[in-house]
């Protein structure tokens, strides 16, 4: 009888542990928000920062969600190419950069239609500040990589 209870308790414990492993990411592993969740977070940020009304927030959310879905699709393509060890030609890289700039320009034009002039100016300033911040983070990251590493290519 005691053995049966002990076995049942072990079985239940192992089931719970297995279920926990399935629902939680491993330590150090990040869970990525869905495009919808990213769009919702971004819309809330912009609503607070720019004072968007309900209609503006709705339009911005739709725009951000579309952008996030396109980003995920493009990222999926990039991962597949990397897995296959496919290197892009210079022409492909230039075209990809050009496409990205066109999409960004179109996004900016859509935001200009949605936002007031004052909101748009503030939004542009926020973008510039964020780009500067990312540039500095990238610079700092690369400086740390290079410290103590005095290998030279010949």
Alpha-carbon distance 56 to 59, whole Å?
5
Query: CB of 24 within 8 A of CB of 45?
Result: no
Question: pLDDT per position in the chain (154 positions), as tens?
Answer: 656 665 655 555 665 555 554 455 566 667 889 999 999 999 999 999 999 999 999 999 999 999 999 998 888 888 888 888 878 888 988 998 999 999 999 999 999 999 999 999 999 999 999 999 988 888 887 776 665 444 444 4
CA dihedral 65, 71, 74, 75 (to 10 degrees): -130
């Amino acid at each position: 009888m005691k053995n049966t209870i002990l076995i049942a308790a072990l079985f239940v414990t192992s089931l719970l542990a297995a279920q926990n492993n399935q629902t939680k990411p491993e330590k150090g592993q990040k869970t990525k928000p869905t495009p919808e969740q990213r769009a919702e977070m971004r819309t809330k940020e912009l609503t607070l920062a720019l004072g968007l009304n309900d209609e503006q927030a709705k339009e911005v959310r739709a725009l951000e969600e579309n952008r996030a879905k396109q980003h995920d699709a493009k990222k999926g393509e990039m991962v597949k190419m990397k897995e296959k060890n496919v290197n892009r030609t210079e022409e492909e890289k230039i075209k990809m950069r050009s496409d990205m700039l066109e999409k960004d320009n179109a996004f900016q034009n859509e935001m200009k239609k949605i936002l007031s002039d004052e909101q748009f100016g503030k939004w542009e300033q926020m973008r510039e500040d964020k780009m500067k911040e990312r540039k500095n983070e990238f610079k700092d990251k690369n400086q740390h990589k290079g410290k103590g590493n005095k290998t030279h290519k010949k």
